[in-house]
């Protein structure tokens, strides 16, 4: 049996903390996922327009086994610089490989497109993302808000306000799984013509309104923004577990976690999205029983957490820059 973690956040996974930083003037932000020690990592990229950094090193055939953090950022290509700020902050903490006294943290990252929102992007030669990355690492904690925060600050979910979401599950035998996502898809998180979330079947304790099952017709229309809003999207996130995994197993968890996007967003993995999921193992406990079955179980828990992490920020987000909030 699985139940909610104490916080219903990814920080219910032992060893994970989250830091957020925003720039309200620009309408953007950054989220840093920082394990207490370097974590085994994998990644799976499914969207047609991804923006990522240091994802190739996470391939199972590459040398690097563990990462010091993962950074999620707004800002499209400019937001990739947030990882540079995070690297500097982590290096000052002594994190990373020691190369003749120089600390070299490994920090993969992914970005979403929020450049077309109402924020002022006239930043000249100094986009804010490097500083936001440094600030996010400095802000790490176990509790954080959902909605207009971090990498989800300027995000939109189809026609309504997106945001930063998180969820967790804990099994009776001690397996902890959590997810954190910046939700900015071109597709809709709502069943067309209703207030019901596509992820309704996985909702726990009324965490996104408790409306229950919607009435769904055989011919469901495709609910997407006007053409002018296309290619301004992407849903990016991290799933984590306290179970010891190999890089190959972490990648399998990331692959399975994408099922959660398919349960919560329609359509998903489009040419306009850059959907990317990282998976982290904090290596606090060992799997018991058949190993492949254990990995499959963690992947299923991760997918459920992902779907809930997509609905929760939309439910909690407030109107911003002309983008209406769900509860507005």
Question: Could you give the CA distance from residue 235 to residue 73 in angstroms, rounded to a whole number?
Answer: 11
Task: Note the pTM of the prediction, 2 decimals.
Answer: 0.96
Q: What is the DSSP annotation of 171-211?
A: ETTS-EEEEEEEE--SSBSB-TTSS-BTTGGG--TTTT---
Model confidence band, residue 221 (pLDDT cutoffs 50, 70, 90) = confident
pLDDT above 70 for 208? yes
Domains of the chain listed by start with CATH number: 2-316 (3.60.70.12)
- Nearest CA among 205, 300, 143, 238 for reference residue 4: 205
- Give the pLDDT confidence of 72-92 residue by residue, as tens digits: 999 999 999 999 999 999 999
Q: What is the pLDDT of residues 16-39, one digit of tens each?
A: 999 999 999 999 999 999 999 999
Inform me whether the pLDDT recorded for 228 exceeds 50.
no
- Residue 95: predicted pLDDT: 97
pLDDT at 316: 98
At 230, is the pLDDT very low, low, confident or very high (cuts 50, 70, 90)?
low
**Of 48 and 39, more confident:** 39
Q: Indicate the length of the chain as a whole number.
A: 328
| Sheet strand arrangement including 236-243 | 2-3, 163-171, 176-183, 236-243, 276-285, 39-45, 66-67
């Amino acid at each position: 049996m699985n139940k909610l973690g104490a916080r219903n956040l990814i920080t219910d996974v032992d060893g994970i903390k989250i830091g957020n930083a925003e720039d309200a003037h620009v309408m953007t932000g950054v989220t840093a996922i920082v394990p207490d020690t370097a974590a085994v990592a994998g990644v799976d990229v499914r969207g047609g327009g991804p923006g990522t950094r240091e994802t190739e090193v996470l391939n199972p055939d590459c040398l690097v086994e563990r990462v010091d953090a993962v950074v999620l950022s707004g800002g499209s290509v400019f937001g990739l610089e947030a990882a540079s700020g995070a690297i500097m902050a982590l290096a000052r903490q002594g994190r990373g490989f020691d190369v003749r006294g120089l600390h070299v943290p490994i920090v993969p990252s992914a970005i979403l497109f929020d450049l077309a929102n109402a924020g002022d992007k006239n930043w000249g030669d100094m986009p804010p993302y490097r500083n936001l990355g440094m600030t996010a690492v400095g802000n790490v904690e176990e509790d954080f808000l959902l909605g207009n925060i971090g990498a989800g600050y300027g995000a939109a979910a189809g026609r309504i306000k997106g945001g930063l979401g998180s969820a967790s599950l804990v099994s009776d035998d001690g397996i902890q799984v959590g997810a954190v996502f910046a939700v900015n898809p071109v597709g809709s998180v709502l069943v067309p013509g209703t207030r019901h979330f596509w992820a309704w079947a996985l909702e726990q304790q009324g965490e996104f309104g408790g409306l229950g099952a919607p009435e769904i017709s055989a011919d469901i229309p495709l609910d997407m923004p006007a053409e002018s809003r296309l290619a301004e999207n992407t849903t990016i996130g991290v799933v984590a577990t306290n179970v010891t995994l190999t890089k190959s197993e972490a990648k399998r968890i990331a692959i399975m976690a994408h099922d959660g996007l398919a349960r919560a967003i329609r359509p998903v993995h489009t040419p306009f999205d850059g959907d990317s999921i990282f998976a982290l193992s904090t290596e606090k406990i060992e799997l018991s029983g058949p190993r492949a079955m254990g990995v499959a179980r963690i992947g299923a828990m991760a997918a459920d957490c992902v779907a809930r992490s997509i609905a929760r920020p939309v439910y909690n987000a407030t109107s911003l820059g002309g983008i209406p909030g769900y509860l507005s």
